[in-house]
Structures are given as C-alpha cells and as structure tokens.
Amino acid sequence: MPNSTALDKALDTWLSSCTRQGKISRNTVAVGIVILDHLRERCPLERDQILSAGGEITGSRASLPRILSKYEIPEKYLKEVTTRQAHQDGQRLLEALAYGESLATFSAKDREQAILAAIHRLRQIAFEWLGRQHLRVACDRQNSPSAWVDSILEEARNRSGGKVEQHLVGAKLEQRHPELEIANFPGHASDAVTGRAGDFSVGNTCYHVTATPSRAVIKKAASNLTGGLFPVLLVPRDQVDKARHLAEDQGIIARITIIAIEEFIAQNIIEMSGGQQDQFTATLKVIIEKYNRRLEEAETDMSLKIELQ
C-alpha cells in the first residue's frame, strides 16, 4: 500500500499539532476516529456531510458511543466530544486529507486497510489513556487531615481539570448532610446548561468549586447574591489569595466566603470523627468511597479514582 504512507504522514503531522503540554485530548482522539469512520463509509466527503453549520464534527456527540463501540473502545472513554478545540482539530485533519480527496487514488481495498490502520493508531492512544493508574495517595497517620487532602490535590494536579476538587467537595457534603440529595454533575457541565446556581446548594448556601478561580466564577457568585443566595467559593489553598483579589475587584469580598478546599474537607473529617484522632483515617476512607462512587456516576475518566495507601 504505497499510498498509505501519505495517510501515515498526515496523521503524524496532525497528532503532533494536537499534542499540547505533552498530551493529546480524548476529545481530539475521538474526533479523529469519527472522521476516519466517516471516510470508511464515503470518500471523499462533502463539507456539509461532516461539518455542521457551527463547525462541529458530525457524529461526535450522540453517535459517538456507537462509533467507538465499532472499534471496541468502551463508552467510558468518552460519551461525547465537548470541547471547541477538538472540533477545530477535526477540521484541520479534514483539511490535511482534503476531505478524503487525498485518498481518492487508493483502491477500495487499500483505502479500507489504510483507514483502519489509522484508526488502530488512535485506538491505541485511547487504550493508553484507559490504562492509566488511579490516583494513589499515601495516608500517613501522623499527618493532619488537611495534609491528606493536600496530597490528594497535588497528586491530581495537571490531571484533574477541576473534577477531583468538585467531586471531593460533593462527597464531603454528602457525608455531612446524609438527609439531603447532593447534586452530582460532570465536571464539564456548565451552570447555564444545567440551570443550577453553582456546583452544590445546601439551603440558600451555594457552593462554587474551582481549581483555578476566575472573574467568571466571581461574577456568578455576585449574581447569586442578588438572587438571595449566600455564595461560598472553594479553591485550593494556593489559590485563596487570587480568589480574594478577584472578589475585591468585584466589590463582594465582604459578602462572599472563600475557603481552602483542604481546610473545608479537613474540618469535616475532624467533626465527623467526634474529634477523635484515631477515627480520622476511617472518616477519610468513607469520604473517598463516596468520592469514587460519585466519580463513577458522573465522569468517564476513571483514572481519577483515589486509592489510599
């Protein structure tokens, strides 16, 4: 298949261009598989057969689980493509392949084999991601609960995208308020789409959880104040000062509570343990069990499960 070299080179160049901070996004890998699957069915493609009016790759949302299953990639890899960047990456792959025109000189058999080989390469990347280890965190009994949570967030750094922080807080609230139903949304679900005031609500208190505070989340907190809600912003300890500065700029610093996630969860561990130090680790384990269950219910990235050691 001499022509397959051209497809290999185009895929190499595309993968290199899509690698950011040493990683390629699941969303981008999925888009690549969707495009190649389309080309198996029809080659070349017309633009309106593969791109929506808004520039999204056709088949990358509701049809994604079905397409991935054709190549034995489990649904937990990704339920739908959610990032604009991935759709832009997909458009560049289509352009690199001239919407399939570059494959037009292949015989039908050679084209099928070349496309399947390209899909297999992306499938390997998907399974490398699926095979990632869980977050493994040492739980030294001599350390404080705050230090334990700090270790978890440090282990999750550059992998979490805010999901670990959100689901830890959700697990803490569920443990603290067993009589209430604590919402459990995917980390990428926006407040506008879900119609919620923030990540969690208890009474008229609205919790906003973020790994990287921004003006957007502060403005959301400000809008909740006008709606009669009391906003609590939860951020990693090293982001507290930034969050306070943003709240000062917005003029709501005196009306919002900003707490480090480490302290928020540590306080719960101490309180729920009845102040008995020998019960701290048992309480942490219960919270982590709830965290792992909530992660399974809402997310596809099971490598973010936590194993205490």
> Do 233 and 213 form a contact (C-beta atoms < 8 A)?
yes
Tokens of 39: 């080309």
| Residue 155 predicted with pLDDT over 90 | no
The CATH architecture annotation of domain 135-308 reads 3-Layer(aba) Sandwich (3.40)
The 10s digit of each residue's pLDDT in 104-146 is: 888 899 999 999 999 999 999 998 888 888 888 888 888 999 9
**Structural domain boundaries of the chain?**
4-130, 135-308
Which range (102-106, 219-223, 239-243, 255-259) has the least confidence?
Answer: 102-106
> Do 221 and 197 form a contact (C-beta atoms < 8 A)?
no
Model pLDDT, residue 177? 93
Model pLDDT, residue 248? 97
Beta bridge partners of 85: none
> Do 83 and 27 form a contact (C-beta atoms < 8 A)?
yes
Model pLDDT, residue 186? 86
> Do 149 and 262 form a contact (C-beta atoms < 8 A)?
yes
Which range (71-80, 92-101, 187-196) has the least confidence?
Answer: 187-196
The 10s digit of each residue's pLDDT in 247-304 is: 999 999 999 999 999 999 999 899 999 989 889 999 999 999 999 999 999 887 888 9
The 10s digit of each residue's pLDDT in 23-68 is: 899 999 999 999 999 999 999 999 999 999 889 999 999 999 999 9
What's the average model confidence in pLDDT over 84-101?
A: 94
- Answer whether 0.95 is exceeded by the pTM: no
For residues 248 and 217, what is the distance between their CA atoms, to the nearest angstrom? 13
Confidence band (pLDDT; 50, 70, 90) for 4? low
Beta bridge partners of 52: none
> Do 247 and 111 form a contact (C-beta atoms < 8 A)?
no
Widest pairwise Cα distance in the chain: 74
Instruction: Compute the mean pLDDT over every residue in the chain, rounded to the nearest whole number.
Output: 90
| Residue 245 predicted with pLDDT over 70 | yes
